[in-house]
Copies of this chain bind each other. A is one copy, B any other.
Amino acid sequence: MKHIRWDKDRESRTGVPEVVFGPGKTAAHLRDLFENTDELRIASRLSEEQMNVLRDVATIHAEPRMAVRNPRAMRNIPPVPVITAGTADIPVALEAATTLEAMGVPTETHFDVGVAGIHRLQSVLPELAVARVCIVVAGMDGALPAVVAGLLRAPVIGVPTSVGTGVAQGGLVALNTMLASCSPGVAVVNIDNGFGAACVALKILGTETPD
């Protein structure tokens, strides 16, 4: 039975290559996709076992549980800032950053700058000021993107994370806070969807610099 229809021209059509979503993929299938190819390959949400399967045919990024083969050459453009409110949001932020870097887009990360100590954000503001798009990752109360968007010219892509306790469990509170943001200029992707945020950033940058 032929289960998968690889969408070969997705990148030429949409500017975003097809990516391998790990859950449910067999070892054989994963190796089949990554071996003996000189095309870009990105896999996400890999289990420990799946990362081991790909370790000799791809670069493994353990924190965001990704594998990359044949990354694009790094473009000469200003880095995309990827910011987190807490330390538990880091794997999601790294899924965004790793995807962007695999696509040739430089990134710079700023972690643990949440609103409980707003001065921490202010110390990184100068670096954010030159960004063309900014990815802000936050769980719990999800308040960070609103504050950042009130200080920047760049669009803010908010990524809610499922990190959270009590009412914040699962990320719905962070998601809704971002959607209800009083600061105009925040657009939101699905909970924990670092990959999706990277795709939006990629499309924003791509419209500007045809390659």
Q: Which residues of A contact B (CB under 8 A)?
A: 1-5, 7, 10, 13-16, 19, 23-24, 45, 85-88, 90, 109, 111-118, 120, 132-133, 140-143, 146-147, 149-155, 157, 160, 162, 164-193, 195-197, 199-200, 202-204, 206-208
Known interface pairs A147-B147, A186-B200; A7-B117 also in contact (CB < 8 Å): yes
* Those 4 A-B pairs whose CB atoms lie nearest each other, nearest first: A166-B191, A187-B187, A143-B143, A184-B199
Asked whether A207 lies within 8 Å of B155 as measured between CB atoms, the reply is yes
Asked whether A141 lies within 8 Å of B150 as measured between CB atoms, the reply is no
Whole-angstrom distance from the CB of A167 to the nearest CB of chain B? 5
**Contacting A3 at CB < 8 Å: which of B111, B132, B172, B191?**
B111
By beta carbon, the residue of chain B nearest A45 is: B165
Q: Could you jot down 14 A-B contacts, CB within 8 Å?
A: A5-B113, A13-B153, A14-B152, A14-B184, A16-B184, A24-B87, A114-B182, A133-B204, A143-B143, A166-B179, A166-B191, A167-B176, A184-B200, A186-B200
Asked whether A180 lies within 8 Å of B152 as measured between CB atoms, the reply is no
Known interface pairs A182-B86, A189-B187; A155-B14 also in contact (CB < 8 Å): no
Q: Which residues of B contact A176 (CB under 8 A)?
A: 167-168, 172-173, 176-177
Q: Which residues of B contact A45 (CB under 8 A)?
A: 165
Taken together as a complex, chains A and B put the C-alpha atoms of A66 and B1 apart, in Å, by 17
Taken together as a complex, chains A and B put the C-alpha atoms of A152 and B167 apart, in Å, by 24
Taken together as a complex, chains A and B put the C-alpha atoms of A87 and B26 apart, in Å, by 12
**Contacting A157 at CB < 8 Å: which of B3, B90, B160, B187?**
B187
Asked whether B188 lies within 8 Å of A187 as measured between CB atoms, the reply is yes
Whole-angstrom distance from the CB of A137 to the nearest CB of chain B? 13
